[in-house]
Amino acid sequence: MVEISLLGTGGMLPLPERFLSSVCVRINGKLILIDCGEGTQISLKKLGWGIKKLDIILITHFHADHISGLAGIILSLINSERADPIYIIGPNGLENIFNNLCVIVPELPFKIFFIEQDFSNKNILEINNIFISTLKLDHSCDCFAYSICLKRIGKFNLEKAKKIKLPCKFWSELQHGKQIEFNNKIFSPKDVLDDERTGIKITYCTDTRPIDQIVNFSEESDLFICEGTYGENNKIEKAVKNKHMTFSEAANLAKQSNCKELWLTHFSPSMPEPEKFLINAKKIFNNSKLGTDGLTKKICFN
Amino acid sequence: MVEISLLGTGGMLPLPERFLSSVCVRINGKLILIDCGEGTQISLKKLGWGIKKLDIILITHFHADHISGLAGIILSLINSERADPIYIIGPNGLENIFNNLCVIVPELPFKIFFIEQDFSNKNILEINNIFISTLKLDHSCDCFAYSICLKRIGKFNLEKAKKIKLPCKFWSELQHGKQIEFNNKIFSPKDVLDDERTGIKITYCTDTRPIDQIVNFSEESDLFICEGTYGENNKIEKAVKNKHMTFSEAANLAKQSNCKELWLTHFSPSMPEPEKFLINAKKIFNNSKLGTDGLTKKICFN
C-alpha cells in the first residue's frame, strides 16, 4: 500500500489557507517528501505521520517556493532524535544550496547522502522495492519530475519450486528477493516466482511546460500529480512565458499517458478559486481532481 | 499611535496553531518586523497590513526559529514591487547569514542597509521620530532585546514664538523638527515648543535569562513583550540550562521595570496549554497577558 498526502498546493508564495506545493508519500511506514517550501514542516506536523521516519527528500528545483523550508525539515528531524542516515536528491549544486540554507542549523546527529542528478540517469535510487526515477523538465532553471514505483514480486509458484527440487527452508529467502546457494548452484527469486505483478506508480511533475517526454515518464501512473499554475485556458501566454502549465495542458498529459487519476497542484497566488476552472481539466481527462492542502489517498495493490 | 501584532508565539518549532515568535509594529503606516522564523510571511499575510511598507527588520539572534523565514520575507517584498531601501539590523555576521539564506532569492530590486551591532551602541537607529535601541542579552549565542520608542514633541507655545518675533510662516517647519534661518539667526524647534511629551515605548525581549540590565532597558514600557519559554516555576533548572525564562521571571522583570503591560511569548513546544500557568505571572505582575498568534493592540499618545 502507498499513501499520498498533499502538504501544500500553492506556487510562488504561501497563503494562509494554501501552503507551498509539497507531497508526502508513506510506504511501509517510511516517508518520502517531495519539495519543502517555507511552512512544509508545519503541514507535515498537521498530517500526523511523524517525521522521524523520513528517509528520502526529493527536490525538484532550487526556486525558493520548493526548497526554502529545508532547514526547518532538518531541524524537525534533529528534534525527533533521528539517527539513521537520509537521502536528499536534487539537481546539481544540491549540497552547496543545502550548506547555505542550513548555516543556521546545528551539527547533524545523522548522515546525509546527497544524490545530485547528472541528467543521464533516469533511475536514481532503488531501496526496499521502491524505485525512484527522474525526468528533466522544461522550466526556467534545472528542474526534475519524480516517479516513485513500488514494485510487486510475482506469486510463489509451488510447481516451479518442486521442479528444481529446492528444500522448502530456502523458499522464504527467495520470496524476499535474495539469492541462495544450494548444492553448489545459485538460485534466484525468479526460479520460484511467477512474473512480477503490477505495482503502484506515483508521478510528481512541477514546474514545467508540457513536454512530450512527460507522457512516457508518467505512463500508467496510478496517481499523476501535476502542476496547473493557471486554470483559465486564456492564460496560455503567461504559462508559456513563465514556463508553467494550464489545467488543460496538465489534463492532456494525464490523458495521453493513460494515468488513472490526476491531481492538479501549484496554483498561482493570483488564482484564489481554482475550483472555478476544474472543468477545463475534466473536459479532457474526467478523473481530474483539484489538489487541496491535506488531500490524502491510499492506493493498494490490485 | 502605535499598533503591535504578534505574528507568532512559539519557540523552537512552529506548530499548526502556534507559529514562531515574531512581532510586527505599525507606526504612521510604516512597518517594523522583529524576527522572522519559518512561516512569518504567512502570518504577516493573515494580518492584512501589507508588506510593501516594511521598512525595518530587527533580528534578535541567528537561531533558526528567529531567522529561517528571512528569505520568504524578502521574496514577499520583491513580489510587492518594493523599490525603497530597507534596514536589516542584527548581531555581527548578519550580512553573511543573509547572503547564505538568500542564495535562493533572485536579484533584489531594492537596496538593503545592514546594521550589524557592535555591542557598544545602545541607540542604533533614529528615523521619523522613531528611536530603536538594543540591549545585549544572556543567551547561548549573541542575542539582543529591542526597544522601539515613538517620541512626541512638545506642544506649540505661542508666547515663545511671539517673544522671539519669528514670522508665523516659519512655525510649521519648526513644529516638524526642522531648523530655520531668519535674519541671520538659526532657530530650532525648542525655540517654539514646550518640553517633549511622553511618547510610546515597546520593548521586545527574547531569548534570554532575566539579567538586571533588562529592568533599566524596558523601564516604563507601555508594552513589554517578553519570552516565557516555560510556564511552571519548577522548570527553572531547564530555563537556566537552556538560557530561557519562566513566566514568573518575566513577570518580575515587568514589575521591576514598571511596565504598563506584559505579553508573554516564545512558548516551548512542550507546553501545549500555556494558559494553565498564566497565574504564575499574574501573581507577580497583574497586567500579564498570554501572547496568542494574531493578538493585536493599539497604543495612543496620552
The 10s digit of each residue's pLDDT in B188-227 is 888 899 998 889 999 999 999 999 999 999 999 999 999 9
Q: Is B141 on the interface with A (CB under 8 A)?
A: no
* A198 has a chain B CB within 8 A of its CB: no
Check pLDDT > 90 for residue A174: no
In what helix (H) or strand (E) does residue A266 lie, and over which residues does it extend? Answer: none
Render pLDDT for A232-280 as a digit per residue (tens, 0 to 9): 999 999 999 999 999 999 999 999 999 999 999 999 999 999 999 999 9
CB contact under 8 A, B38 and A71: yes
Render pLDDT for B16-47 as a digit per residue (tens, 0 to 9): 999 999 999 999 999 999 999 999 999 999 99
State pTM to two decimals. Answer: 0.91
B119 pLDDT higher than 80: no
pLDDT at A116 over 80: yes
d(CA A177, CA A119): 29
A105 touches chain B (CB under 8 A): yes
Per-residue model confidence (pLDDT) at position B47: 97
Q: How confident is the model at residue A183 (pLDDT cuts 50, 70, 90)?
A: confident
pLDDT at A122: 80
Q: Is the pLDDT of residue A163 over 90?
A: no
> What's the pLDDT at A173?
87
Tell me if B68 and A67 make a contact (CB, 8 A cut-off). no
Q: Does B83 touch chain A (CB under 8 A)?
A: no
Q: What is the DSSP letter of A155?
A: P
Q: Is the pLDDT of residue B164 over 90?
A: no
Residue of B16, B69, B100 with shortest CB distance to A103: B100
The mean per-residue pLDDT over the stretch B275-293 comes to: 98
Residues contacting B216, CB < 8 A, separation 6+ = B257
| Interface residue of B66, B103, B140 to substitute, partner A, most A CBs within 10 Å | B103
Nearest residue to B144 (alpha-carbon basis) of B119, B115, B125, B126: B119
Beta strands B54-58; B86-90: pairing state:
parallel
Distance of CA A180 to the CA centre of its chain: 33
What's the CA gap between A23 and B228, in Å, rounded? 35
Contact A269, A12 (CB under 8 A): yes
Contact B71 A38 (CB under 8 A): yes
Task: Give dist(CA A75, CA A123) in Å, integer.
Answer: 29
B72: which chain A residues are within 8 Å (Cβ-Cβ)? 14, 38, 64, 68
Q: Give residue-wise pLDDT tens across range B229-279.
A: 999 999 999 999 999 999 999 999 999 999 999 999 999 999 999 999 999
Indicate which residue of A65, A191, A207, A293 is catalytic. A65
User: Residue B36 phi/psi, 5° resolution?
Assistant: -155, 85
B122 pLDDT band, cuts 50/70/90, is confident
Active site residue A65: yes
Distance CA B171, CA B166 (A): 8
- Kindly tell me if the per-residue pLDDT of B66 is higher than 80: yes
DSSP calls for B140-169: SS--EEEEEEEEEPPPB-HHHHHHTT--GG
Q: In order of start, what are the domains of chain B with their CATH numbers?
A: 2-153+196-299 (3.60.15.10), 154-194 (no CATH)
- Look at residue A224 and tell me whether its pLDDT is greater than 90: yes
Q: Which long-range contacts (CB under 8 A, 24 or more apart) does A230-233 make?
A: A230/A268, A230/A271, A231/A267, A231/A271, A231/A274, A231/A276, A231/A277, A231/A278, A231/A280, A232/A277, A232/A280, A233/A280
Q: What integer pLDDT is reported at residue B282 of this predicted model? A: 98
Residue B42 to residue A39, Cβ atoms within 8 A: yes
From the list B15, B79, B104, which residue is nearest A97 (CB)? Answer: B104
pLDDT at B162: 85
Q: Among B104, B141, B242, which would you mutate to test the A interface (most chain A Cβ atoms within 10 Å of its Cβ)?
A: B104
Q: Which of B206, B246, B211, B212 is nearest to B224 (CA)?
A: B206
Q: Does A293 touch chain B (CB under 8 A)?
A: no
Whether the CB of B44 is below 8 Å from some CB of chain A: the reply is: no
pLDDT above 80 (res B120): no
Q: What is the mean pLDDT of residues B77-94?
A: 96
Flag whether residue B29 sits within 8 Å of chain A, measured between CB atoms. no
pLDDT of A297 > 90? The answer is: yes
Sorting pLDDT into bands at 50, 70 and 90, what band is B93?
A: very high
Nearest alpha carbon to residue A114 among A56, A174, A195: A56
pLDDT band at residue B167, thresholds of 50, 70 and 90? Answer: confident
pLDDT at A51 over 90: yes
Question: What integer pLDDT is reported at residue B173 of this predicted model?
Answer: 87
Establish, for the pair of chains A and B, how many residue pairs have beta carbons separated by less than 8 Å: 88
Q: Cα(A250)–Cα(B276) distance, rounded to whole angstroms?
A: 51
**Closest chain B residue to the Cα of A76, Cα to Cα:** B13
Q: Which of B39, B100, B101 sits opposite A39 (nearest CB)?
A: B39
Query: Which pLDDT value is given to residue B165?
Result: 84
Could A14 and B42 be called an inter-chain contact, meaning their C-beta atoms sit closer than 8 Å?
yes
Q: Which residues of B are catalytic?
A: 65
pLDDT score of A119 more than 80: no
